[in-house]
Amino acid sequence: MANSTQSALVFEIGEMIVEDPSVDAQPWEAISLVATYEDDGEELLGYRYLGGGGYEAVAPQNFDDLMDKLLELRQVMSEEVEGLWVQCLLQVSKPNYDFRVQYEYDDVQRWAPKSMSSTMADFAETLRPTIP
């Protein structure tokens, strides 16, 4: 990352995720969160990946603060790149707390469920980080 403000914001966002009480409520191996910003609102969804291949939906307790920090990052990035990203995928993997962020500028459905199911297993698997 070329911009030190951008780098600091990404680091702070990573800390907010792993230190959130609802995220860290039980042992986990990885976390994936998708933030989506559209004209009519914002959304954050994601999963905590457990040992043995299991997963469960996770909703950070600090949702408002996290979304505000992501909005701040989005604005800082827009000063360097034409346009605002519409989605970002945030992934944290243990044991080293590797943090990966990907941005989508065009397709607001890139990291969205392709079909609804009672378990959402397929969608959860598409977001699962590769654990080293």
Digit-coded pLDDT (tens) for 9-32: 999 999 999 999 988 888 899 999
Please state the domain extents for the chain: 4-127
**CATH architecture for residues 4-127:** 2-Layer Sandwich (3.30)
Position of tokens 């378990």? 119
Q: Are 22 and 57 in contact (CB under 8 A)?
A: no
In this predicted structure, what is the pLDDT of residue 1?
Answer: 42
Beta strands at 55-57 and 41-49: parallel, antiparallel or unpaired? antiparallel
Please name the amino acid found at residue 106.
Answer: D
Q: Give pLDDT tens digits for 36-56.
A: 998 888 999 999 999 888 999
Per DSSP, the residues of 23-70 read GGGS--SEEEEEEEEETTEEEEEEEEEPGGG-EEE---TTHHHHHHHH
